[in-house]
Amino acid sequence: MIASMTGFARAERALPEGRLTWELRTVNHRYLEMTPRLPEEWRALEPAVREVLAAGIRRGKLEAQLRFTRDPGQGQNLTLNSTLMDGLARLCAQMSNEFPAPVSVIEILRWPGVVQESPLDLEALGQEALALLKETLAALTLARRREGERLAAGLRERAAGIAHWVAQVRARLPEVRGAAREKLLARLAELGVETEPGRLEQELLFLAQRMDVAEELDRLDSHLVEWAATLARAEPIGRRLDFLLQEFNREANTLGSKSQDTEITRAAIEIKVLIEQMREQIQNVE
């Protein structure tokens, strides 16, 4: 299924220790480029995060941000630094003779390092973070596929437009060939030139070969069949579509250069417009 390279997903999980939050953002990029943003104490988790992301995203610029907000738990996660408290108590005792003013407990608690948070079990929390990451990645993949479906609809619509113009040109070819023959005969009559029937047929054949675009039309039809088959693939197809568009453009250019008919020239221009619109759309296809 076609997927867009642009997407966003966010997921949260409440734990006894606090709240985990993942945010994933992707935009179009030529290759896969990942930027995990983790809290400093969670850096050891980065290789596992990259592995999970690489399994789900094949192409695009991906930013993954993890946030962890610790739950105060009404003081259950707080402890006192006993060593620092003992040192402060000795200092207060030494100073009490010279400075008899009482020391507030609140002032002691405000001293840097007196109140500490109990250490976290980062190994267990890391497993929770990876599980939540997989859920967030699934949501991101779904969002990218929804956008991909809209892109696919637009690409199919423009491919149908190319097929329409190819059919128009093919239907007009007999009329163009007949008009070219009549124009050549009229020009010869105007000049009063008499030609041998064999020579005349050779000139007409040469003119028909110069104007013949049947091969280009056949190749455009073939590319349209491959285009439809590629859109139905269940794998990243952005680069393949880009290659096919190069082939479309080559045939459209040849069609325009061979044309000696205003209607065929117009059709070639319309085909090139559709090709450029398709090129803009596939910039976001994974």
**How far is 254 from 46, CA to CA, in rounded Å?**
52
In the predicted model, what is the mean pLDDT of the chain? 83
Indicate the DSSP class of residue 155. H
Closest by alpha carbon to 68, among 118, 116, 15, 137? 15
Q: Give residue 74's pLDDT.
A: 43
Q: What is the mean pLDDT of residues 152-173?
A: 94
Q: What is the DSSP secondary structure assignment for residue 235, as one 8-state letter?
A: S
Burial status of residue 110 (CB atoms within 10 A of its CB: 0-12, 13-18, 19 or more): exposed
What pLDDT is recorded for position 226? 96
Which of 169 and 121 is assigned the larger pLDDT?
169
Q: How far is residue 103 CA from its own chain's centroid?
A: 62
Residue 266 pLDDT: 93
Domain ranges of the chain: 7-73+122-145, 78-117, 148-282
The pLDDT value given to residue 175: 77
Farthest CA pair distance, the chain: 135
CB atoms within 10 A of CB 249: 16
Query: pLDDT exceeding 90 applies to what percent of the chain?
Result: 54
Per-residue model confidence (pLDDT) at position 75: 45
Q: Please tell me the distance from the alpha carbon of residue 108 to that of residue 45, in angstroms, as a whole number.
A: 37
What backbone phi and psi angles, to 5 degrees, belong to 2? -65, 140
Evaluate whether 50 touches 36 at the Cβ level (below 8 Å): yes
- Report whether pLDDT(243) > 60: yes
Tokens 């988790």 found at: 45
Identify the helix (H) or strand (E) that includes residue 147. helix 122-191
Residue with tokens 């076609």: 2
pLDDT tens, residue by residue, 92-144 = 776 666 666 666 666 666 667 666 666 677 888 999 999 999 999 999 999 99
More confident call, 85 vs 137: 137
Residue 245 has pLDDT above 60, yes or no: yes
User: DSSP letter string over 107-122?
Assistant: HHHTSTTSEEEPPP-H
Strand 60-70 and strand 32-37: the pairing is parallel
pLDDT band at 5, cuts 50/70/90?
Answer: very high
User: What is the separation of C-alpha 34 from the centre of its chain, rounded to a whole number of angstroms?
Assistant: 13
CB 84 within 8 A of CB 110: no
Name the nearest CA neighbour of 34 among 20, 49, 45.
Answer: 49
Q: Write down the pTM of the prediction.
A: 0.71
pLDDT at 23: 97
- Domain with residues 7-73+122-145, CATH architecture: 2-Layer Sandwich (3.30)
